[in-house]
């Protein structure tokens, strides 16, 4: 298990001038890799996440409990295939495209439970909860049913709390320390999918 990429982004208009209802909506979902296996730059990780990373709406992203968003590279093939088919364009997403800060390899939602710890390059993180997609994810993917596809696939990724910050580079080994195993990220996703009041996620 290893960290493939560290990404960050700045708050910017999400739709530009092309959406009649959401011209003023801002987001930092569009992340860019700042440390990769090919260019393993050292990045400072603080209690609030990747230094320099921004969030537009702190009620749903960021803060101490959602400081780092993690996404497994294993799901990138799913998104490339789905978006290529649905948008009729060849799609090859770059790391950070799902909005994640850490793109990782070797650990997926079925393996991870709330309360687990991840030791990455000597830094310590705690698993907090799944990522819940919204219409901004649809916009970033250029596909109106992207949020629905994330929930239905179970490929949500998850948030981390930073227990011990410091410097981190892509390529760092990940050690998974299981917690009480009360609920997995996959189980959280299924519970969210089964709620009857989630229609707003894909409108």
pLDDT digits (tens, 9 = 90+) for 1-24: 999 999 998 988 776 544 555 556
CA pair distance 156, 25, nearest whole angstrom? 23
Confidence band for 199, pLDDT divided at 50, 70 and 90: low
Reply yes or no on domain 2-202 having CATH 1.10.10.10.
no
pLDDT digits (tens, 9 = 90+) for 65-97: 999 999 999 999 999 999 999 999 999 999 999
What is the average pLDDT across 119-139? 93
The pLDDT score that the predictor gives to residue 166 is: 97
Confidence band for 175, pLDDT divided at 50, 70 and 90: very high
Residue predicted with more confidence, 145 or 59: 145
CA pair distance 107, 32, nearest whole angstrom? 22
The pLDDT score that the predictor gives to residue 15 is: 64
pLDDT, the chain, mean: 89
Beta carbons within 8 Å of 158's beta carbon, 6+ residues apart: 69, 70, 109, 112, 127, 128, 129, 130, 131, 185
Residue predicted with more confidence, 102 or 60: 102
Q: Tell me: pLDDT of 26 over 80.
A: no
Look-up of token digits 């909860």? 129
Q: Which helix (H) or strand (E) holds 128?
A: strand 123-130
Confidence band for 134, pLDDT divided at 50, 70 and 90: confident
Residue predicted with more confidence, 28 or 70: 70
Q: Give the 3-state secondary structure of residue 113.
A: strand
Structure tokens at 137: 């994810």
């Amino acid at each position: 298990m290893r960290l493939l990429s560290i990404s960050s982004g700045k708050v910017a208009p999400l739709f530009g001038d092309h959406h009649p209802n959401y011209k003023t909506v801002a987001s930092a979902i569009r992340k860019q890799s700042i440390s990769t296996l090919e260019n393993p730059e050292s990045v400072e990780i603080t209690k609030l996440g990747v230094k320099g990373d921004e969030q537009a709406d702190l009620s749903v992203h960021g803060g101490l409990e959602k400081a780092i968003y993690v996404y497994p590279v294993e799901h990138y093939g799913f998104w490339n295939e789905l978006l290529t088919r649905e948008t009729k364009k060849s799609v090859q997403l770059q790391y950070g495209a799902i909005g994640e800060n850490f793109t990782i390899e070797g650990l997926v939602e079925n393996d991870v439970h709330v309360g687990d710890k991840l030791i990455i390059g000597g830094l310590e993180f705690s698993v907090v909860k799944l990522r819940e997609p919204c219409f901004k994810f649809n916009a970033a993917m250029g596909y109106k049913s992207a949020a629905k596809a994330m929930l239905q696939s179970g490929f949500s990724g998850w948030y981390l709390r930073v227990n011990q910050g410091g410097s981190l580079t892509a390529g760092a080994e990940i050690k998974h320390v299981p917690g009480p195993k009360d609920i997995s990220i996959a189980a959280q996703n299924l519970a969210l999918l089964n709620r009857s009041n989630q229609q707003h996620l894909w409108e």
